[in-house]
Amino acid sequence: MDIFANHLFDWVILIAMIGGAAYAMKIIGEEKSTFKDESYEVQFGNLSLMIPNWWSIVEQTPTHLRFERTDTRYDWYSTFIYYPAHNDKSMPDLLEEKLNQDLIEFDMDVVFETDSRVLFRNTQIQEYFQEVIRVEGKGSQNVIDRIYCDIYIMRALNDTGYFIFESRSSVLNGMLEGPYFEESLAELRFAENPSS
């Protein structure tokens, strides 16, 4: 009892920290279940994207969307781009071209996925985007800038064009927004009334 009485302030701090950690675990555990409730739909061509409420559209054309967090000073953005021609380049060549263009070199421990059934929940999207490459992880840009990057390159079998969807940020910010980017693409669907 003397240990408790002599260190009352320390015990209060420890209990507060444990309570805070438990609360954070509860909130984080509910994030995916509340994603649809806290998102809005954005049409991109014939696709429908679920976008978190706190992402703001800062650029929008028929072939390009760019989102940023305008409510904070996060070093983060996400782009959704359609390129009308792939000039018969393979998917690995398109990825290499993208990485070289942006001067990105991934670390060795990246997530690499090529199975649309793993990336998307909607079976129509899985069948439509049978050619897909996803690379996610930490890396360097311009040799010195440390980044967190998640890139999806997707192409329909009979399409002359391809999509590049990307989330890029500093390492810490990517770990905050990255799961929402991933969930946005997991929920990808065809739009009911496609925009032209």
* 15-40 pLDDT, tens digit each: 888 988 777 666 655 555 567 778 99
Domain 38-190, what fold? Protein Transport Mog1p; Chain A (3.40.1000)
Confidence of residue 78 (pLDDT cuts 50, 70, 90): very high
- The better pLDDT of the pair 23, 70 is held by 70
Would you say residue 164 has pLDDT above 90?
yes
Q: Kindly state the average pLDDT of the residues 102-123.
A: 93
Would you say residue 195 has pLDDT above 60?
no
- Which token pair is 79? 């782009």
Mean pLDDT of the chain: 87
Which distant-in-sequence residues (6+ apart) come within 8 Å of 175 by Cβ?
A: 148
Would you say residue 113 has pLDDT above 80?
yes
